[in-house]
A and B are shown apart, each in its own frame.
Chain A
Amino acid sequence: MYRKSKKRRKIIIIIVVIIIAFFVLFYSLSSNRKLTVVESFFKDAATIVMKGVMLPFTSLNADKDTDLTESYVIQKNLNVHLEEEIEQLRDTLDLNQTLTGYDVVNATVITRNRSYWYQTLTIDKGSKDGLKKNMVAITKDGLIGKIQNVTNYSSEIKLITANDVNNKVSVSIATTTGETTAILSGYDKENNLVLISGVDSRVDINKGDVVTTSGLGGMFPRGIYIGEVEQVTNDKYGLSKTLGVKTTQNFNNIHYVTVLKEEKQ
Chain B
Amino acid sequence: MIFQVVIVIISLFLDGILSNFLPFMMGDLSLFTPYFTLISIVIIYPFFKKKDKDYYILVGITGFLYDLFYTNLLFTNAIFFLLIGLIVSFIYKKMELNLLTNLFLTIFAIVIYQTIFSLSLFIFNVVPVNIKSTLYLISHSLILNIIYGEILYLICKYMPHKRHLN
Contact = CB atoms under 8 A, between A and B. Distances in A.
B152 interface: no
Nearest to B124: A29
A42 to B, nearest CB: 5
B79 interface: yes
Contacts of A42: 68
Interface stretch (B17-25, B44-52, B88-96, B102-110): B17-25
Contacts of B65: 46
Interface residues of A, number: 43
Contacts of B120: 25, 29
B20 A54 contact: yes
A31 B126 contact: yes
B20 A57 contact: yes
Contacts of A33: 72, 74
Interface string B55-95: 00000000001011111111110010000000000000000
A111 B127 contact: no
Contacts of B136: 116, 189
B97 interface: no
Interface stretch (A85-93, A137-145, A225-233, A248-256): A248-256
Contacts of B69: 46, 49-50, 111
Interface string A41-74: 0110010011001100100010000000000000
Instruction: Determine the main DSSP class of B at the interface with A.
Output: helix
A255 B67 CA distance: 21
A200 interface: no
B121 A111 contact: no
A39 interface: yes
A163 B70 contact: no
A163 B72 contact: no
Contact of A39 (B24, B34, B74, B133): B74
A117 B127 contact: yes
Nearest to B71: A113
B68 A114 contact: no
Contact of B19 (A29, A49, A114): A114
B16 A111 contact: yes
Contacts of A25: 76, 79, 120, 124
Nearest to A64: B24
A201 interface: no
B29 A252 contact: yes
Interface centre among A21, A42, A109, A116 (most CB of B within 10 A): A116
A5 interface: no
A116 B76 CA distance: 15
A53 B13 contact: yes
Contacts of A253: 23-24
A11 interface: no
A35 interface: yes
Contacts of A116: 133, 136-137
Contacts of A177: none
A57 B21 contact: yes
A252 B23 contact: yes
B128 interface: yes
A6 B33 CA distance: 43
B5 interface: no
Nearest to B13: A53
12 contacts: A24-B79, A28-B75, A29-B126, A53-B13, A57-B21, A61-B21, A112-B20, A113-B71, A120-B72, A163-B128, A250-B23, A255-B24
